[in-house]
Amino acid sequence: MELTFNQAAKGVNKEFTVNIMDTCERCDGKGNEPGTKVQHCHYCGGSGMETINTGPFVMRSTCRRCGGRGSIITNPCVICRGAGQAKQKKRVVIPVPAGVEDGQTVRMPVGKKEIFITFRVQKSPVFRRDGADIHSELFISIAQAILGGTARAQGLYETINVTIPPGIQTDQKIRLSGKGIPRINSYGYGDHYIHIKIRVPKRLTSRQQSLILSYAEDETDVEGTVNGVTQTSTGKRSTGN
Ligand SMILES: [Zn+2]
Ligand SMILES: [Zn+2]
């Protein structure tokens, strides 16, 4: 059974139809057409067993005439042809528990039979799953990374306002406790980990360009060089244009 990421994470009631062999509903498993009489098997006296005398031994076995039924059907049921069992289409509602994982199987009674259902959980374009924990990425600007701030991230249950501390690094994780998937074998929820990605702008306004050059002039811990910034012979940096 195919489930979306969110259905598996939050749980869902899934309806589907199965074809199973079960007690014939038309004859209620008796095998004769409803309203018709069933003949008592005179061969076994209705016991369904016959006694075979083989010299010194007396064997009891299933009556060959009635097949152990004890009665003879003269008007077999039109649905099951007297078998008492028929293929039936059944609508089943499966309460898929929240937190079900890809490949997990559940057992489910359908009529007098049991069926096994294996879940296939689709991938999410937003979330990655690790048990009850979920992971997602959040892109922030350079200024947000340096100065801190807030950003909106898609959560499993709602949109989340994430507080970004000043000086956050790329790939740093922000843990949102209890915002993950319900734990299927215990209590509580997993966590939501937001992986920070810093978006570097490809185009700058001329003002941003001059500001970033000024910023670069004051940078002291640079390995190598910065385009547009040259180091003077005195060790001080100045703009090259
Ligand atoms: Zn029947
Ligand atoms: Zn019989």
For residue 231, what pLDDT is reported?
63
Q: What is the pLDDT along the chain (241 residues), one digit of tens a residue?
A: 899 999 999 999 988 888 888 888 888 888 888 888 888 888 888 888 888 877 778 888 888 888 888 888 888 899 888 888 888 888 888 889 899 999 999 888 887 778 888 999 999 999 999 999 999 999 999 999 999 999 999 999 999 999 999 999 999 999 999 999 999 888 899 999 999 999 999 999 999 999 999 999 988 888 888 898 876 434 454 444 4
Residues by chain with Cβ below 5 Å of ion ligand 2? 41, 43-44, 63, 65-66
- Among the bound ligands, the one closest to the CA of 66: 2
Residue 74 Cα, ligand 1 centroid: separation in angstroms?
13
- Nearest ligand to residue 68 Cα: 2
Do the beta carbons of residue 89 and residue 17 sit within 8 Å? yes
Ligand closest to Cα of 41 equals 2
Which of the ligands is closest to the CA of residue 79?
Answer: 1
Domains and CATH numbers, the chain: 2-121 (2.10.230.10), 128-199 (2.60.260.20), 206-239 (no CATH)
Structure confidence by residue, pLDDT tens digits, 36-67: 888 888 888 888 888 887 777 888 888 888 88
Distance 62 CA to ligand 1 centre (A): 22
Distance, CA of 101 to CA of 112 (rounded, Å) = 27
Tell how far the Cα of 65 is from the centroid of ligand 2, in angstroms. Answer: 5
Task: Using the CB atoms, write b or e for 174-196: b if 16+ within 10 Å.
Answer: bebeebbbbeeeeeebbbbbbeb
Q: What is the pLDDT of residues 96-109, one digit of tens each?
A: 989 999 999 988 88
